[in-house]
Structure 1
């Protein structure tokens, strides 16, 4: 398939490993990626469809005035984009960390930075300072939920049609970077008051600190977070998690990400969330498995930490040709408060049902 091939890694032995353009995520052809050891992703799609789907009754939805506020989330997105580029350890990233710390502290959460050094700073050749931002509500709770997004932006708009912009332009990452953060900021304003169970919002750095596709890697922050969780187990455990990425497209359409819908540990989460969307009549959650599978921050969380985390992502931005992705067109004007509102509402109602004390 032509457009998705631009973000596919095809592996033929060791001599031919071609990495083509990657963004908030990149793709492996089905059957060529070794999955996390938490379930068997090889179950045929038809067999999965034939299995009994879990049912989660959401009860009576919240009244309209208490629902997730998409416009408020969009205002957060605007504020984030006003900071400019938010690459790792940049002034924009520091300002964003201060914004998030103030926002969540005022909501009563515990906020901390998980610092790491990873990748390669092209100016110095040394590992780049990075920091995941971890927000904890009800930190004493031992059973916790992980809600996450990446909050860094790609250093350059390297898929822009203008050659000068590819080398010198500013990548704002309104959808690919700010949308997940904005959604979680607004969700954090509403959800923790509705439960006493533990909720962690984690914002990953270094998701796409990429200057040279040939040697640079992805997912530094989420990989480090997963390694720390595995190697230095905290007293608490994550029961499940959700990653949100690229969820503000005006032409929203969210299929079920293939890894998430085929891994045994994450499949029920997908079925529950899409089931809630159906009950709420949010048709932008499409009841089919997207192809090919997405490699995103949820993969190290599953593979390394064995935390069952799914990926909610609309990669076709604004359509299958993906023309805004990693270009100077990824700006707030191409994002939608309505889209943020729909994704946030589905997650809010699903989590309310899951987190009842």
Structure 2
């Protein structure tokens, strides 16, 4: 049995204490201030429900943002009944494509519309006629996709990447009457029929309500229960653990019916929802930028970006 003298043992102990945390991966490449600036810019447009003037302004802003960064920007349109009656509402998904020639692809997606009213506001008058800005519920995921578009070194690989913004996620005035997920349902139907920009999707990652100042992210129950999606969930949360991002908790807590459901049910795409459902300002007038966090946005963005890099490396290796 080999033995070490006391000075050698002391040197090893010191080296262990001074060694960097094995979970660390260097500084977060996501620009937290820039991402949060996008969130604020979107919120300055005011409420952005489907078919509204502010939504059209937002669409112009997003097309202008993605045009110089992505290889292609595609609008995908359909119409939906107006819950209040009158002319149908134009629903427009915006797809920013990277490496559009690649057959195998990944989706990172979010909804960019806001609910028409803050229906859960504790003030009954506000719930019936208030303004819903949707800083976390709508703008946070959109802002993160805007930020991810800058990281072209990760997006340019053997896998094609589609950053997809869904319209009509909650054009809902009455929960018992009005359907959710209009844009993602149309997207999934077109994909199923082969009437989409092209390629086959390996995975879809949905980000929703990811800027909560008190961020806690659990496995979403649908995402975890679907056998084809569970490896995706595990990969994302393991990535967070490797990066030392402790806000990702590897256990289930909430079940969320969200845009990933039609992607999985109709499009048969393994689809995961990264969502913080413990948000006290959900569907209230207080869902505004001051209750959101640039740090939270950056942490989620780092996990998604590192996951994309790992998927690109795996595809390049032929696995």
- Give the number of the structure whose alpha-carbon radius of gyration is greater: 2
- Residues 1:216 and 2:178 are matched in the alignment: yes
Match of 1:206 in 2: 168
Superposition TM-score, scaled by structure 2 size: 0.87
Map 1:11-26; keep pairs closer than 5 Å.
none
Partner of 1:260: helix, strand, or coil?
Answer: helix
Report if aligned partners of 2:23, 2:244 keep a CA contact under 8 Å in 1: no
Match of 2:3 in 1: none
Quick one: distance in 2 between partners of 1:116 and 1:175?
26
Quick one: distance in 1 between partners of 2:42 and 2:132?
13
Partner of 2:77: helix, strand, or coil?
Answer: strand
| Cα RMSD after superposing both structures | 1.7
Match of 2:121 in 1: 160
Unaligned runs of 5+ in 1: 1-58, 318-322
Superposition TM-score, scaled by structure 1 size: 0.78
Gap change, CA 1:194 and 1:244, over 3 Å in 2: closer
**Superimposed CA distance per residue, residues 201-237 of structure 1 (whole angstroms, 9 cap, x where no aligned partner):** 1111110001122211100110010001112355510
Match of 1:99 in 2: 61
Report if aligned partners of 2:23, 2:242 keep a CA contact under 8 Å in 1: no
- Residues 1:355 and 2:317 are matched in the alignment: no
Gap change, CA 1:117 and 1:257, over 3 Å in 2: same
Partner of 2:151: helix, strand, or coil?
Answer: helix
Match of 2:189 in 1: 227
Map 1:308-319; keep pairs closer than 5 Å.
308-317=270-279
Map 1:108-123; keep pairs closer than 5 Å.
108-123=70-85
Quick one: distance in 1 between partners of 2:25 and 2:65?
24
- Residues 1:250 and 2:198 are matched in the alignment: no
Match of 1:346 in 2: 303
Q: CA deviation at 1:68?
A: 1.2
Quick one: distance in 2 between partners of 1:205 and 1:159?
21
Match of 1:83 in 2: 45
Quick one: distance in 2 between partners of 1:120 and 1:214?
15
Quick one: distance in 2 between partners of 1:270 and 1:107?
28
Quick one: distance in 2 between partners of 1:152 and 1:118?
14
Partner of 1:240: helix, strand, or coil?
Answer: strand
Q: CA deviation at 1:350?
A: 1.3
Instruction: Please identify runs of 4+ aligned residues in structure 1 that moved more than 3 A.
Output: 59-63, 191-194
Partner of 1:271: helix, strand, or coil?
Answer: helix
Quick one: distance in 1 between partners of 2:141 and 2:58?
13
Greater share of helix: 2
Match of 1:241 in 2: 204
Unaligned runs of 5+ in 2: 1-21
Quick one: distance in 2 between partners of 1:60 and 1:315?
27
**Superimposed CA distance per residue, residues 15-63 of structure 1 (whole angstroms, 9 cap, x where no aligned partner):** xxxxxxxxxxxxxxxxxxxxxxxxxxxxxxxxxxxxxxxxxxxx99764
Report if aligned partners of 1:119, 1:209 keep a CA contact under 8 Å in 2: no
**Superimposed CA distance per residue, residues 120-162 of structure 1 (whole angstroms, 9 cap, x where no aligned partner):** 24141x4322111111111111111111000000001111112
Match of 1:47 in 2: none
Gap change, CA 1:193 and 1:213, over 3 Å in 2: closer
**Superimposed CA distance per residue, residues 243-264 of structure 1 (whole angstroms, 9 cap, x where no aligned partner):** 0000000000000001111211
Quick one: distance in 2 between partners of 1:271 and 1:191?
25
Q: Return 107-116 or 71-80, whichever deviates more.
A: 107-116
Gap change, CA 1:217 and 1:192, over 3 Å in 2: farther
**How many residue pairs are counted as aligned between the two chains?**
291
Partner of 2:67: helix, strand, or coil?
Answer: helix
